[in-house]
Structure 1
């Protein structure tokens, strides 16, 4: 007689297609008990999966009420999660990766059946085809990981297989950013001064504002009387549609003082008699008064770079230029963070501040001045020994950089506010040009090293003799004292 199964024990039985099926009533994610089925090629395999299903039920872990396909779950995740919690631009980027990459290759897998092996094979295939950069492949993995992580929150999965997969190939070096020098910034501003969007470029360069923040600036956020303005919104291009929305982070919402160059340029723009009015109250618009397309703003910047004859950089790299120039001036990192609107000062230090060649040279020359090392003076015979052409370089002082007012907002070929530098050791500085190319020849280096060694040996001998003399004096004093203290 067959044993009667207890309530909740479940059952396994063969199917017509030759496989085995197991079924049991368990708690599902929607809060109700439902008969869930599992499958296996053999009875033992089906029984093992049924045992795992019941074990999760006894641990209080609910089971998914439906068998999700990954493609269907990605659509659900984009619509119900990302569209509700993220900004439109973020949703656009995630949707693009899901539609073009994840769904065609992995969408047929079940959510629970997706394995690390399948994800790893997908990433390796994308890298082997060579159509995408490593950064794009990393974005594919991160997008999939975000969807699977939310599935874990909904208790549909017990692990995130995308996190276990590795990016194929060696890690690529991060693109190195080379911000503008002081001279390049001056040259660009001088050329852009006559352009109607000159105030926008002043804000991007001096304040390091993001492109969307500049284009989203409203007249109501600008107070020329108190020389302040507030960053409260940004403008973005989402799927070809201009959208005005919230800022990137909470720290991006900030108030800033207006420097004279920006205040004068904005006042001139505001007082233009024939300027088109913007229905959104934006300060920077197209020639017809509509919101300015961010791509067109970037193209205008590139054209002005070409006209000015300066090195073409991305418009976003103006943030790097502003951070590096303020670093050169010795502005505290916390202040730079507040001006750029970063959520963490570590981002300001590690990403946006750059130790350019000028800063490196000034630091090393300052160390050289402290150590007072001998050097070769090329191109000049002043105070130089005729045989070795070596001389001692006097202690050097750090560079000084100041903002100087260079006139008002006129149409002259010079910006209203310029950076002027006085670098000791560079062209235009207090030192002579012959010290720029100082390097020691081999015989000079050998001679100087020998001289330094002899000096050190001489001073070491003097020190040893001094110590011996002091010890002898102390011992002599002790002996005379002992003799005096002896009775009779």
Structure 2
């Protein structure tokens, strides 16, 4: 497909197609969309895509495009509409393995068959990757081909006729209330103590914890507003941190009550850092020695080392979120409240994750029935 991009000029969006002469010389062609810049980027992107299709069809290039070349252009076009973490994940999968597998085979997009996709699955399995990884790769390929079908580049999506790899079920084994207490007692004075305390009491995700700022904590109302995150991404192949106020799901934007132990910990941390000085609302709560937000990878790798140091049962950092859910469910909080507390997009997600934790509640109910008189 012919390449192209949007360009802002005189307050409006323009499409710039990268045409070439028979000798290969690049000739940019500017086409106006007539759309004002503000609020029209997605519409302009759709117009650009359609224009690229029209020029490709006119030159007879779209049907003969290699699948590997289509994937390169597809991920480039998706950058503006995908969340940073999602885009980085898709790009890593496609450029790291999928494109490398298909490029030497020189399979045309229109000639791709289910067997070609199955062959890629088998190649991944030969490398010993998990079925969950095969599923992630399949999902990205399926999405890319679904877009090709939507834009009439292909007559059907071959990935839709491939048996979907089965996702491996991870059995959640969160900390009990006693284990949570042991953890908090053990790590007193450790660098990660404030953050891990926050994780247990709030169930916030890693990115949400790293993105917590003093201005979102209301000590007078005893509430914490979850509305910002810090994630790890890549810029020109190098790791970088990205801060964003737009969380992945609307449900993730939530307000949590600040229980007394958490309030005391935060007040102590605020006093230690600022003393009697004015707190800056935009400052991050959890920082390193240089005053920068803690790096996601550092927290993830330091946590298991901390558990080993104190002889505590090994769990993942994300399992502290599940441990918070376990505490709520053990206290017989309704599932709808657990959903809202954790910021799940639906109660079904909460039920699927914690159905085994609620089994104890069923046992309690059974005991009630047994003793009925």
TM bin, normalised by shorter chain, reads 0.7 to 0.9
Q: Deviations over 1:365-413 (max 9, x none)?
A: 4454449xxxxxxxxxxxxxxxxxxxxxxxxxxxxxxxxxxxxxxxxxx
Question: For residues 33 and 111 of structure 1, do their structure 2 counterparts lie closer, same or farther at Cα, with a shift above 3 Å needed?
Answer: closer
Partner of 2:254: 254
Q: Deviations over 1:160-219 (max 9, x none)?
A: 101211246xx4640211111111011111112333432321221121100110110011
Q: Deviations over 1:242-269 (max 9, x none)?
A: 1112312111011112111111111111
Distance 2:74 2:57 in 1: 24
Question: For residues 356 and 258 of structure 1, do their structure 2 counterparts lie closer, same or farther at Cα, with a shift above 3 Å needed?
Answer: same
Distance 2:115 2:274 in 1: 64
Tell me whether 1:232 sits opposite 2:230 in the alignment.
Answer: no
Partner of 2:114: 116
Alignment of 1:6-405 (within 5 A): 30-31=53-54, 65=62, 67-81=64-78, 83-107=79-103, 108-127=106-125, 129-167=126-164, 171=166, 173-239=168-234, 240-245=239-244, 246-273=246-273, 281-352=283-354, 354-355=356-357, 362=364, 365-370=367-372
Distance 1:112 1:273 in 2: 61
- Secondary structure at 2:110 match in 1: coil
Distance 1:259 1:315 in 2: 21
Structure 2: stretches of 5+ with no match in the other structure: 1-49
Tell me the CA shift for residue 231 of structure 1. Answer: 0.8
- Secondary structure at 1:85 match in 2: coil
Distance 1:305 1:352 in 2: 24
Distance 1:353 1:322 in 2: 15
Tell me the CA shift for residue 356 of structure 1. Answer: 7.3
Tell me the CA shift for residue 33 of structure 1. Answer: 11
CA contact (8 A) 2:225 2:255 kept: yes
Tell me the CA shift for residue 101 of structure 1. Answer: 2.2
Distance 2:182 2:107 in 1: 57
Question: For residues 288 and 352 of structure 1, do their structure 2 counterparts lie closer, same or farther at Cα, with a shift above 3 Å needed?
Answer: farther
- Secondary structure at 1:84 match in 2: coil
Tell me the CA shift for residue 300 of structure 1. Answer: 3.2
Superposition RMSD in Å:
2.8
Q: Deviations over 1:71-124 (max 9, x none)?
A: 11111111111x111122111111121123211222321111111122122223
Alignment of 1:457-468 (within 5 A): none
Distance 1:80 1:33 in 2: 16
Question: For residues 278 and 195 of structure 1, do their structure 2 counterparts lie closer, same or farther at Cα, with a shift above 3 Å needed?
Answer: farther
- Secondary structure at 2:111 match in 1: coil
Distance 2:257 2:58 in 1: 66
Distance 2:176 2:137 in 1: 36
Question: For residues 182 and 105 of structure 1, do their structure 2 counterparts lie closer, same or farther at Cα, with a shift above 3 Å needed?
Answer: same
- TM-score, structure 1 as length reference: 0.59
Distance 1:173 1:65 in 2: 37
CA contact (8 A) 1:284 1:291 kept: yes
Structure 1: stretches of 5+ with no match in the other structure: 1-26, 38-63, 372-488
Question: For residues 183 and 104 of structure 1, do their structure 2 counterparts lie closer, same or farther at Cα, with a shift above 3 Å needed?
Answer: same
Tell me the CA shift for residue 271 of structure 1. Answer: 0.9
- Secondary structure at 2:170 match in 1: coil
The count of corresponding residues between Structure 1 and Structure 2 is 315
